[in-house]
């Protein structure tokens, strides 16, 4: 199994922002080389960047506060955002004859769990370039307080991904979490209490990736390997969309059958054979079952959508693994430590069910059928690869290479939070929901479908 947990760990402490201009300069110098070395990106472009130039100008003049709400299709997004802020905004400002103060940068919110898979160096780096961590699966008062303070008082604007996590789809946006809209209203509230007059905005940023070439040969190779892993008959090497789609569906149905039998046999779940259900309905039922298995172990109620349930399960697992009561406690007996290790191991194993769901939370079963492009095919194939690799106990992060990509970042029209303040005073929950939907609509409008 990839990166197994074998014992309890020290608590995941809050990492306070500690911005260092020198570290930022080193990153600004080195990131183009890193992109070339570590990513498939060969071209990054920005559109409607003048909107961002204008809003940065107002920010530096003390007229507004704003948050960059960016799409989060995959883990290369931070590199693209760095180019948008560090390169495209200064270049566009110069072209327009607008003088902006250096550096053009943003504080940013990140999942506290990222250093667990990205490495300890990230725990040092992110605070130094203005990042503030957040635990997504609980009410993280310390993290929220830090983000709220940066939104109102930070040297730079704040950036965050309202989807909360990557979904692997360039042309399908996951339902947004309400936290970004809530932060916007809190910022308005805090400014009013401080008798400050800045207006508050959310700025939608669309991020999309496109393969430079339609590399069907390598997609077919990945599908062939998946068929081999699943002991399915090897399909022919016909590179037509219909043939590859049929093979992908065969893989999907095999995985559904196998996982349904897995939960029936080993977790004693009642999953009726119902031939009237289509693929998407069966997938939804399976994901629900997998989460329920983990939730019952952690004694969690199945409330909210799949993504929010995944986040609560993740936090419940972390609470068993990264023990707050371990810090500064030297009086644990060997027996107590042994039992604590057992709890950590079991929690890690139960979180495995949640990771499976996490990989498929945005899959609908219709994504390719609606628009059978190479990009959609490649995305779906990689999602299936991730699941199979998890089932095999491999590393789901090191995905197959399917070709070089270009990225496009589009700046949307800023959404004024201040103008919706009266709605928030009347009905807070509804105002947050409405602003979240406005942001969802704005992001939908600035991506290609």
Predicted local confidence at residue 331, as pLDDT:
78
Instruction: Taking residues 176-188, report their average pLDDT.
Output: 96
Kindly give, in sequence order, each residue whose CB lies less than 8 Å from that of residue 139, ignoring residues fewer than 6 positions away: none
The helix-helix angle for 241-267 and 374-392 (nearest 10°) equals 30
The residues facing 123 across adjacent strands are none
Reduced 3-state DSSP string for the chain: CCCCCCCCEECCCCCCCCCCHHHHHHHHHHHHHHHHHHCCEEEEEEECHHHHHHHHHHHHCCCEEEEEEECCCCCCHHHHHHHHHHHHHHHHHHHCCCCCCCCCCCEEEEECCHHHHHCHHHHHHHHHCCEEEECCCCCCHHHHHHHHHHHHHCCCCEEECCCCCCCCCCCCCCCCCCHHHHHHHHHHHHHHHCCCCCEEEEEEEEEEEEECCCCHHHHHHHHHHHHHHCCCCCCCCCCCHHHHHHHHHHHHHHHHHHHHHHHHHHHCCCCCCCCCCCHHHHHHHHHHHHHHHHHHHHCCCCCCCHHHHHHHHHHHHHHHHEEHHHCCCCCCCHHHHHHHHHHHHHHHHHHHHHHHHHHHCCCCCCHHHHCCCHHHHHHHHHHHHHHHHHHHCCCCCCCCCCCCEEEEEEECCCEECHHHHHHHHHCHHHHHHHHHHHHHHHHHHCCCC
Given a contact cutoff of 8 angstroms between Cβ atoms, the answer to whether 289 and 309 are in contact is: no
Count of other CB atoms within 10 angstroms of residue 322: 21
* Dihedral Cα 318, 321, 326, 330, nearest 10 deg: -170
Identify the pLDDT of residue 26: 97
Place of tokens 């995941």: 12
For residue 6, what pLDDT is reported? 83
The pLDDT value given to residue 2 = 56
∠ Cα 106 109 110 (to 5°)? 125
Question: HSE on the CB side for 297, CA within 13 Å?
Answer: 24
Domain extent listing, the chain: 9-212+405-445, 216-392
Mean pLDDT for the chain overall: 92
Sign of the CA dihedral running 389, 71, 364, 41: negative
The predicted-structure confidence for 196-211, as pLDDT tens digits, reads as follows 999 999 999 999 999 9
Q: What is the mean pLDDT of residues 191-195?
A: 97
* pTM of the predicted protein model: 0.92
Higher pLDDT among residues 149 and 174, named by residue: 149
Query: Which residues, including other chains, have CB under 8 Å from residue 294's CB and lie 6 or more apart?
Result: 313, 350, 351, 353, 354
* pLDDT recorded at residue 236: 73
pLDDT at position 37, please? 94
* The CA-based dihedral angle spanning residues 356, 252, 41, 124, taken in that order and rounded to the nearest 10 degrees: 0
In the predicted model, what is the mean pLDDT of residues 300-317? 92
How many other CB atoms are there within 10 angstroms of residue 255's CB atom?
19
CATH 3.40.50.720 fits 9-212+405-445, yes or no: no
Residue 1 clears pLDDT 60, i.e. is over it: no
Quick one: pLDDT band at residue 239, thresholds 50, 70, 90? confident
Q: pLDDT digits over 103-162, tens only?
A: 999 999 999 989 888 888 999 999 999 999 999 888 899 999 999 999 999 999 999 999
C-alpha to C-alpha distance for 221 and 258, rounded to whole angstroms: 22
Least confident range from 85-89, 184-188, 256-260, 411-415: namely: 256-260
- The contacts of residue 428 (CB under 8 Å, 6+ apart) are 185
* CB burial readout 186-206, b (16+ within 10 A) else e: bbbbbbeeeeeebbbbbbbbb
Alpha-carbon gap, residue 405 to 43, rounded angstroms: 7
């Amino acid at each position: 199994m990839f990166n197994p947990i074998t014992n309890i760990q020290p608590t995941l402490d809050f990492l306070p922002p500690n911005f260092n201009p020198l570290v930022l300069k080193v990153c600004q110098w080195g990131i183009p080389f890193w992109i070339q070395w570590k990513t498939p990106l060969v071209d990054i472009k920005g559109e409607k960047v003048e909107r961002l130039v204008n809003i940065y100008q107002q920010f530096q003049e003390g007229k507004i506060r704003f948050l960059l709400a960016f799409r989060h299709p995959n883990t290369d997004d931070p590199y693209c955002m760095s180019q948008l802020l560090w390169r495209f905004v200064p270049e566009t400002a110069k072209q327009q004859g607008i003088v902006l103060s250096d550096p053009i940068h943003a504080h940013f919110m990140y999942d506290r769990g990222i250093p667990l898979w990205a490495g300890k160096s990230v725990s040092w780096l992110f605070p130094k370039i203005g990042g503030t961590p957040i635990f997504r699966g609980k009410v993280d008062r310390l993290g929220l307080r830090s983000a709220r303070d940066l939104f109102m008082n930070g040297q730079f604007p704040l950036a965050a991904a309202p989807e909360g996590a990557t979904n692997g789809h360039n042309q399908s946006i996951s339902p947004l979490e309400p936290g970004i809209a809530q932060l916007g209203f809190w910022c308005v509230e805090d400014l009013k209490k401080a008798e400050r007059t800045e207006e508050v905005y959310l700025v939608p940023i669309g991020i999309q990736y496109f393969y430079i070439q339609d590399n069907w040969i390598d997609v077919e190779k990945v599908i062939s390997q998946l068929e081999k892993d699943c002991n399915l008959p090897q399909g022919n090497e016909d590179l037509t969309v219909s043939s590859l789609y049929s093979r992908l569906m065969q893989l999907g149905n095999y995985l559904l059958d196998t996982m349904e039998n897995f939960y029936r046999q080993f977790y004693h779940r009642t999953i009726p054979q119902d031939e009237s259900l289509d693929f998407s309905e069966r997938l939804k039922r399976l994901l629900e079952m997998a989460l329920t298995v983990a939730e019952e172990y952690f004694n969690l109620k199945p409330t909210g959508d799949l993504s929010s349930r995944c986040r609560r399960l993740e936090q419940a697992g972390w609470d068993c693994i990264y023990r707050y009561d371990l810090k500064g406690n030297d009086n644990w007996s060997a027996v107590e430590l042994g039992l604590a290790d057992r709890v950590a191991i079991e929690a890690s194993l139960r979180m495995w069910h949640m990771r499976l769901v996490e990989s498929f939370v945005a899959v609908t079963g219709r994504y390719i059928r609606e628009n059978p492009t190479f990009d959609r095919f490649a995305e779906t194939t990689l999602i299936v690869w991730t699941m199979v690799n998890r089932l095999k106990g491999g590393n789901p992060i090191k995905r197959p290479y399917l070709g070089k990509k270009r990225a496009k970042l589009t700046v949307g029209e800023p959404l004024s939070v201040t103008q919706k303040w009266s709605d928030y005073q009347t009905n807070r929950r509804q105002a947050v929901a409405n602003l979240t939907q406005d942001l969802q609509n704005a992001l939908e409008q600035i991506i290609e479908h």
